[in-house]
A and B are shown apart, each in its own frame.
Chain A
Amino acid sequence: MNTTALPLKGCTLAGAITSIPPCFTPAVSSLRHQARALGVDLSHGAATSTSGVVFDFLAPGLDPIATHLLGWADGRPDGASELTVQAASGLMAVHGRASGGARPLGVDYVSTLAASLALQGSCAAAVGQLRGGGHRRVDVSLAGAASLAIGQYLADATVSEGAERLLPGCTSPHDRPPFTSADGVVFEMETLDAEPWRRFWSGLGIPGELAGKGWSAFLLRYAKAVSPMPAELMEALSRLPYALIAEYCAEAGLSICPLRSLSERLQDDDLPLLLEQGPWHFTPGSSGLATTGLGGRGDLPLSGLKVIESCRRIQGPLAGHLMALLGAEVIRIELPGGDPLRGMPPLVDGCSVRFDALNRHKEVCELDIKSARGRTELLELASQADVFLHNWAPGKAAELNLDHTDLARVNPALIYAYAGGWGDDCRLHAMPGTDFMVQAHSGVARQIARRSASAGGSLFTVLDVLGGVVAAQGISVALLKRCLYGEAGRVDSSLLGAATLLCSAELQALRDGKALAQPLVAGVYPTAAGLLAIECRDSEEVKRLRYALDYPLDTEPVLRDEQIVRCLASHDMWAWQDHLRESGLAASAVREDLSAVHEDERITPCLRTEAYTQAKSPWSFT
């Protein structure tokens, strides 16, 4: 059996794959796409529910794993959808900090995340069963996925001392990256060091003081989802043609990438394989291993497994965090003296809450992987582990003699996982493979810009989070493959792969020359007090909205939206939320202040309040 490209061949998804509540269409579409890419057969069934989708994950020789993909975590049938969960969870609020106020991301983000988490939970439960555990049901929700996504921002906003209070619209949607040239090209720039930034602006005649303020703003993107650039910097670029700006960038050592459309992305060589095989690339390693030879078990499916993580920032650490939430023991490699991110305020007990949000369940081992002694220690750790995960820069693993073949030599059964930026396309490796550059190149930024007041993507780290989830999913799949078929190996994933997954339905529709079905109503509307998100996926739901508003809404979208706004002016968002919910519609008040997210009983089950508000595990196993 060739399981290289189809690692889960032999497994089946059975259940509510065709008959689904309309608001779960994007999640199920992504689920089907991911399952096919992994080689999972899809078989149809009839089980449906108003609170979500239920399917059985069937792996050879195992009891069925009932996977419940819900809207709200407690299964309440209260109008959960992509849009309403974005609104209630605070995701719109984070995105809105630099995008002109709370507004939709404009991509099926929560649905994609939840689909990925649902399949991942199924795979982990199957691994649990193969190790003697009794995991036969896993619950995942759109709300749980959204809470996980904004976990770091929640931590910042809810810590008792020094909490950030960054509300939607708190910074200009114009004076922030991406930038716009005189000839109208919208583009991102990136560097991880201050010096190229200083050289670039100095070349443009910008005083150092202003360039320095720009650098401080530039650094804020990753931590705070804002980047308030001095207007003078934006103006300087708006006076120059893109080609000249690109020349200045090359001279200064700054990377530059125009925001591309999905149509442009469709022309890329690497795209067909990413659409077919999903965001993972599985490379076979040792075979003939004992099929159930993973020791230890406990309450969670991966209890007793050991993961070594050598990752920085968000994507890799989030993948390790998810492994820990599945029960694995995660040992995090940090440089002597610790990860500098530990010191990013606000802090609790001397540790950054943003850092803690992704690393609180890990054991830390400080060693310098660049030293001979550090490498020896790392190999020793890897020889005792089940998974090794890193997100080093391209080429660094080979340079350090810590690539897959090096580690497989000391541990043939090891799963070697790489969470990268650009994936296999080496032509892109000259640019830092960071969230915002990949948003620009992949077409995600342009997709998001359609619904935003800014010229580009989100300053919420859309792809780092999805990339982390996808990386962890690849590891769970590789572990299941190892348990089922006795094959170890390597799994690569990337931010670009995650971006492709996020837009896979649009890309496939574009490729096939078909129009993608869009919700008939999907907007955020002002009420007498607060904003209300409403999503109607089909004409039946629009009919119910007309009835609930007691108004004959027009079919023309602009006119219809004006009519909705006029209707909603009579009551506040909470009153409308209740009223429309009673009509069976997906409607939600938009949560603008993250410090109050936990007050919403639809979100409460996803959170735990300790020194700061934490996102709980997105999975519940029984």
Chain B
Amino acid sequence: MPISVSIPTLLRPLTQDQKRIEVEGATVRELIERMDNQYPGIKQRLLDGGEMHRFVNVYVNDDDIRFVDNLGTVLKDGDNVTILPAVAGG
């Protein structure tokens, strides 16, 4: 079940400069584990103590996973996952 993942510029050195990669996974957590198998180091940049890092937003299609089921958010064939840096405050 390949999922298309959009990679932000800062993480592209870890994905051999690919803007978009195809990874399988039934949930976001599984997806990140498999991404890390293929592109070591990416998990460390996304997770902090087993949870999403506060400076990272992950969207499944247009939905922020923090408002769905966090890392347990279920993925289905054809979903688009987007990773974006996020900072609140000014």
Contact = CB atoms under 8 A, between A and B. Distances in A.
A461 B89 CA distance: 10
A343 B64 contact: no
B90 A193 contact: no
A312 B86 CA distance: 13
A315 B88 CA distance: 14
B11 to A, nearest CB: 8
B39 to A, nearest CB: 16
Contacts of A192: 88-89
Given A193-B54, A350-B10, A344 B87 contact: yes
Interface residues of A, number: 36
Nearest to B56: A340
Contacts of B57: 216, 219
A222 B90 contact: yes
Contacts of B87: 219, 222, 313, 340-341, 344
Nearest to B64: A212
Contact of B67 (A212, A312, A435): A212
Interface string B64-90: 101110000000000000001111111
B13 to A, nearest CB: 9
A198 interface: yes
B10 A212 contact: no
B85 A434 contact: no
Interface in B26-42: none
Nearest to A342: B10
A208 B67 contact: yes
A340 B68 contact: no
Interface in A187-231: 191-195, 198, 208-209, 211-213, 215-216, 218-219, 221-222
Given A343-B85, A350-B9, A211 B90 contact: no
B25 interface: no
A222 B89 contact: yes
B80 to A, nearest CB: 15
Contacts of B10: 342-343, 350
B67 A191 contact: no
A315 B85 contact: no
A195 B66 contact: yes
Contacts of A198: 66-67
B67 A341 contact: no
Name A's interface SS. Answer: helix
B79 to A, nearest CB: 14
Contacts of A314: 90
B14 to A, nearest CB: 12
A394 interface: no
A461 B54 CA distance: 22
Contacts of A347: 9
A464 interface: yes
A422 to B, nearest CB: 14
A315 B90 contact: yes
Contact of A215 (B56, B67, B89): B67
B90 A215 contact: no
B9 A222 contact: no
Contact of B88 (A209, A212, A219): A219
Contacts of B2: none
Given A343-B10, A345-B9, A350-B10, A209 B89 contact: no
B90 A212 contact: no
A350 B17 CA distance: 11
Contact of A461 (B56, B63, B90): B90
Contacts of A313: 87, 89-90
Given A434-B90, A435-B90, A215 B9 contact: no
Contacts of A64: none
Interface in A172-197: 191-195
Contacts of B64: 194, 212-213, 215-216
B66 A341 contact: no
Contacts of A278: none
A434 B66 contact: no
17 contacts: A191-B88, A193-B54, A193-B88, A209-B68, A213-B62, A213-B64, A215-B66, A219-B57, A219-B87, A314-B90, A340-B55, A340-B86, A343-B8, A345-B8, A350-B9, A350-B10, A434-B89
Would you list the 6 A-B pairs with minimal beta carbon distance, nearest first?
A212-B67, A340-B55, A343-B85, A343-B10, A212-B64, A208-B67
Given A215-B66, A216-B57, A216-B64, 11 more contacts: A193-B54, A194-B64, A198-B67, A209-B68, A213-B64, A215-B64, A219-B57, A340-B56, A343-B9, A343-B85, A436-B90
